[in-house]
Amino acid sequence: MPIILLKTEHLLLRQMALDHIVTIQIPFETEKQASIARNSIAADPVLKKNEISVEFIAEGNVLQCKFAGVSDRVIRVAISNCIDNIKTVIETIEEFDGQKDTLFKKDS
Amino acid sequence: MAPIDLDKYVRPGKDHFLALGLEGSANKLGVGVIKHPLGELTPENRALILSNVRDTYITPPGEGFLPRDTARHHRNWVVRIIKRALADAGVAGADLDCICFTQGPGMGAPLQSVVIAARTLAQLWELPLVGVNHCVGHIEMGREITGAENPIVLYVSGGNTQVIAYSNQRYRIFGETLDIAIGNCLDRFARTLKIPNEPAPGYNIEQMAKRGKHLVQLPYTVKGMDLSMSGILGYIDGVAKEMFGPQQKKLVDKETGEEITPEDLCFSLQETLFSMLVEITERAMAHVESNQVLIVGGVGSNERLQEMMALMVKDRKNGSVYSTDERFCIDNGIMIAHAGLLAYRSGQTNALEDTVCTQRFRTDEVFVEWRD
């Protein structure tokens, strides 16, 4: 399982008020996996755009998720949601990457 | 009009199409694999169901399923269920033509939890995605299983209640509920009576209703071609609370003087709601001069509803009722695979940015390119 690295910064972006910022970095095995993960989770629009903005960037084999929100609470909700999605992505990758030609066995 | 060519996108050297379908718009997570032979689907050239796996999120008696918890259930199971469906079908990713997923309508969080897996798998295996309208999935599956050609469709489930007729490449809604869906009405009454949700609340109500003898008068609310059910639910909930709450009020049947039981309430609720459904269905049939009815959706597995519909249809010339069993009328992945594959064969694929799910997605928004 990839290790999740947290980095918190506080910036003074008063005009936007999205001054609570957290970046999550998730390393994948390959560059392709990181970009697949990005594409899978970035397709969904962020609700409440005036309260939170989320940016997903695949850099090499690392997926960077940048959250900027108006409060700790909205950041927490967004991160929790994002990690839930990434869990599904990672599990899907783990089971199916490189298995396109595999005939899965029953009860495995 | 020239016949519709459904074989434009067949892969070289193949004599069939294969699709994986993922459904998770409510509390059922379903994955299925379907195979279409080349050419138009007919009774002699039918779709082949290779696998149909389902896992239902069941809540304790008295509780409904909430979006967050349901989404968590789907996330926990989706990869395992996909694997099982592929294993059951004996199909590898390389054999598939497309991956179909429910794009709506339904509960937002559960829908979204499943589309994440669909997007990831589609990218890993470089397969196109096809977004499917859940209601159209039910209709197409019902048509394929029963062979009904151009029926009036009664779509009755936990989230939807619609009477539908096909015309000019759209499934048009003739009548529908103005408030809650019929399955929602039954499920919520099951919660009031603390009837178990296993295997399904509606199923347990149906079994109890078979033992009911006395009809309790309930409001009957057909409004033109539409129905309203929240008032009926409020009324019968009130009756049940008087009977089983602190008041312990005894209710007796006027004719026999016998005491009203929970079974009688289930029976009365079913009889009233189903009569309303039969009434608007019959009116829709008269409008479009059709003599076939196809019942789809989870409530469609109720045998009493099927029976009442059959009684109505019998009085019409050459009338027939088509329904499917629980494998196909309760939410499942195969119907999504089937409807999605029909759309794929008519040229539909969804780019990643067009795979966002929506809670509201009306049946008549879909352009039915695969029918003439």
Q: What share of chain A is helix, strand, coil (3-state, %, to 5)?
A: 35, 30, 40
Chain centre to alpha carbon of residue A62? 10
Give the model's pLDDT for residue A9: 52
Across the range A64-68, mean pLDDT stands at 96
pLDDT at A14 over 60: no
For chain B, list the strands marked E by DSSP: 16-23, 28-37, 48-56, 98-104, 129-133, 152-156, 161-167, 170-176, 222-223, 226-227, 292-296, 320-323
Q: What is the pLDDT of residue B300?
A: 96
pLDDT band at A108 (very low <50, low <70, confident <90, very high): low
Show the low-confidence residues of chain B (pLDDT under 50): none
Q: Which two tokens stand for residue B275?
A: 């009569």
| 8 A C-beta contact, residue B23 and residue B336 | yes
B16: annotated binding-site residue?
A: no
Of A41, A92, A101, the CB nearest to B79: A92
Structure tokens at B347: 């040229």
Do domains B16-141+329-365 and B148-326 share one topology? The answer is yes
Mean pLDDT of A17-44: 96
Residue A107 pLDDT greater than 80, yes or no: no
Q: What share of chain B is helix, strand, coil (3-state, %, to 5)?
A: 40, 20, 35
Domain annotation for chain A: domains and CATH numbers: 5-96 (3.30.310.50)
Q: Cis peptide before B3, with omega less than 30 degrees from 0?
A: no
Q: Which CATH architecture has domain B148-326?
A: 2-Layer Sandwich (3.30)
- Please tell me the total number of residues recorded for chain B in this structure: 372
Amino acid identity of B259?
Answer: E
What pLDDT digit, counting tens, does each position of B338-351 carry? Answer: 999 999 999 999 99
Nearest to A7 by CA among A67, A90, A74: A67
* B54 torsion bin: left (phi>0), alpha (psi -120 to 50), beta (else): beta
Residue A15's pLDDT band (boundaries 50, 70, 90)? very low
The verdict on a CB contact (< 8 Å) between A96 and B119 is no
Average pLDDT, chain B: 96
ipTM: 0.93
Confidence of residue A13 (pLDDT cuts 50, 70, 90): very low
d(CA B310, CA B278): 9
Q: Where are the domains of chain B?
A: 16-141+329-365, 148-326
* Residue range A70-97: mean pLDDT, rounded: 96
Residue type, B355: T
Which chain B residues have any C-beta within 8 angstroms of a chain A C-beta? 71-72, 75, 78-79, 82-84, 86-88, 90-94, 112-113, 116-117, 119-121, 123-126, 352-353, 355-356
Fold of B16-141+329-365: Nucleotidyltransferase; domain 5 (3.30.420)
Instruction: Tell which phi-psi region holds residue A95, choosing left (phi > 0), alpha (psi between -120 and 50) or beta.
Output: alpha
**Contact indicator for A68, A20 with CB cutoff of 8 Å:** yes
CA A2, CA A90: separation in Å to the nearest integer?
Answer: 9
Alpha carbon distance, N-terminus to C-terminus of chain B: 8
Judge whether A33 and A78 are in contact, CB under 8 Å. no
For chain A positions 56-85, those within 8 Å of chain B (CB to CB) are 84-85
Residue A24 parent element (H or E): strand A20-27
